[in-house]
Amino acid sequence: MSTLLTVIATFFAGMGAGLGTGFAGLSAAAVISPVLITFLGMDPYMAVGIALASDVLASAVSAYTYHKNKNLDIKNGLIMMISVLIFTFVGSYVASLLPSATMGNFSVFMTFLLGIKFIVRPVMTTKEAMTSVPAHKRIIQSIICGVVIGFICGFVGAGGGMMMLLMLTSVLGYELKTAVGTSVFIMAFTAFTGSLSHFIIGGKTDVFVLILCVIFTLIWARIAAVFANKADPKTLNRATGVVLVILGIAVMGFRLFA
């Protein structure tokens, strides 16, 4: 494997993952894993571990940017995060009892459809309308959505960021910027937990590829998050939709080559 190919592959993987994280709160695993597996011939388990590790800093920096611009719901985000973490384990256990089936394509296809949805039917909910929901109702909604997201992620093995964005905007009625900010806040913790378990169980990793992916993902996530927080709602919806559609098509293409 040449150093140049490694740098090029990780650059584009990090760019796609960073834009997806900063704009839509998506997991870097959706983009980085298939690129590393397809173009660098990396072991899938190691590729997912590197992708999750890349997610940690990118999501944390994005969450800080959204929080600085008052586009982050920490209280309900923490409640949802606990539900997601618990039921990810439940979903994984249930999946281990059933015959193996490739359901990864489901999350990729849903990413593409979600992108179309943001372009055709943008989320124009205001912060005033969002905060008018009673606190106790929001807590219950956060717990239920966290249970659903966690179980699906554990069972399918992917799609956490995409499912969170869908639930936060469609079910909880979040304004788009707050939805993305809350999503990346949760993803920073879930990605840290996932990457740590991958490295503990899987052992050694390719440090050079890991460092490149972390740096490139972090740079592009920061750029996307700054732009997203300055954009007006309609522009942000379209930009988010375009990023999701391109990522969906790109990852489906990677899976065909894999």
Q: Give residue-wise pLDDT tens across range 102-145.
A: 445 556 677 778 888 888 888 777 777 887 888 889 899 999 99
What is the longest distance spanned by two Cα atoms in the chain? 57
Q: Which residues contact 207 (CB under 8 A, 6 or more apart)?
A: none
Residues 6+ apart with CB under 8 A from 192: 52, 56
The pLDDT of 34-56, averaged and rounded, is 85
Q: What is the DSSP string of 81-150?
A: HHHHHHHHHHHHHHHHHSPP---HHHHHHHHHHHHHHHHHS-----HHHHHTS-HHHHHHHHHHHHHHHH
Other residues' Cβ atoms within 10 Å of the Cβ of residue 258: 12
Mean pLDDT of the 32-44 span: 84
Mean predicted confidence (pLDDT) in 12-32: 86
Which residue bears the tokens 């140049």? 4
Residue 101's pLDDT is: 47
The answer to whether residue 82 scores a pLDDT higher than 90 is yes
Residue 39 CB partners (closer than 8 Å, separation 6+) = 5, 9
Cβ atoms within 10 Å, residue 127 = 13
What would the mean pLDDT of 187-201 be, rounded to a whole number? Answer: 82
* Predicted structure pTM score: 0.84
Query: Residue 216's pLDDT band (boundaries 50, 70, 90)?
Result: very high
pLDDT of residue 14: 93
d(CA 110, CA 112): 5
